[in-house]
Amino acid sequence: MFDFNTFDDPTHGYVNYVDQATASSQGLFHVSNGQATFGVDHTNIASGRGRTSIRLTSKAQYTHALVVLDLAHMPGSICGTWPAFWMTGPNWPYSGEIDILEGVNTGSQNQITMHTSDGCSLAGSNCQGGLGCPIKPTGSNNYGTNLNNAGGGVYAMQWTSGYINVWFWPRGSIPSDVFGANPRPSTWGATTASFVGGDNCNIDQHFSNNNIVFDTTFCGDWAGSVWGQDSTCSALAGSCQDYVQNHPEAFAEAYWTVNSLKVYKSDHDAPSVNLANVQMKPIASPIDAPPVVKATTSEPAAQLTTSPPLAQVATRAPGEAYESTENGSANVSISAQEAEEGKPVLQGTLVGAAVSPAEDGAMETRSTRKVSRHLHRHVHHLHQS
């Protein structure tokens, strides 16, 4: 499940993040045909905090995982925009940050970046703080408008004790096992970006307990600070905020459409195990399944309801096939610990069904990092108290 964040943008963006009820009533969030679509206001002159948008943060936190995102559409390469799909933990930067998909303005290439505390160098760069250690993958269809024109694609991020790897495949080139019950990263060939730990960086010391985040902000510490360096954007308005405020029609393509988002855990997740060489199995997916809850032997498992209804719920134990049921609620529930021990796991396939707004006061602690306007981003972390 995800929270709809409504706090002021920690990256100083000209943006008004709204809750689920507001987003739905304004047509900015909906689920249709198994796809979750969430975007920004593109009909009104902006005011107040800025242009209305959505920021989603997963309730669950992850340490070591395989995250697979199937995108049909992401915000296009539009002046003023700063979309990102990323992970970060509490007490930044000590829990690390993994930027899987990110860019600004008219950019045509993704920038994959790691951010850590002092003492970690990856991909030949010091990952400390706001600048981090970025890799810009080659290719012309991995981000923004070009990705959308190519029919979308799939990003996969594998996080182990030894490395953090990212793959991207355009539509039509996706390995056959990526969406299966047991994806095998060791068979996927060359990575799109690879950050290998060792003496240069102890990954387990610098990355832990990360939430998954989707957001689309405007201007702010990155898109706004480089506005004048983009000849296309700077010709449109004297400032990023002026353009974003007064040209709602420009942002009709600033939306995400997610086919699926799945998170997998190793059967034997331990620092000494290379996840590429063992079978993987899905745990509760953060968008497309209800949260995992503890079931007892003496009482029925708690009923998990979704709105709109969860279209498909599946359970499996190692070696068993998935069995699907058409229900509006899920009655199967287990704990995360049970999943790691090889017991059945819960997985829903309707993206977006379990997204729910956070209640006021349910979030908890905010941690914002200060960087100069030419550095990468501020970070805001939420965790349950």
Residues with catalytic annotation? Answer: 97, 102
Helix (H, G, I), strand (E, B) or coil at 231: helix
Helix (H, G, I), strand (E, B) or coil at 384: coil
The Cα-based distances of 352 to 4, 34, 216 in angstroms read: 12, 8, 17
Which amino acid is present at 197? G
Which amino acid is present at 53? S
Q: How many degrees, rounded to 5, is the angle at CA 194 between CA 213 and CA 178?
A: 65
Distance, in Å, from the CA atom of 335 to the CA atom of 5, rounded to the nearest integer, reads 26
Distance, in Å, from the CA atom of 52 to the CA atom of 105, rounded to the nearest integer, reads 17
**Tokens linked to 271:** 């620092």
Could you tell me if 354 and 290 are in contact, meaning their C-beta atoms sit under 8 angstroms apart?
A: yes
Distance, in Å, from the CA atom of 28 to the CA atom of 21, rounded to the nearest integer, reads 10
Distance, in Å, from the CA atom of 17 to the CA atom of 221, rounded to the nearest integer, reads 17
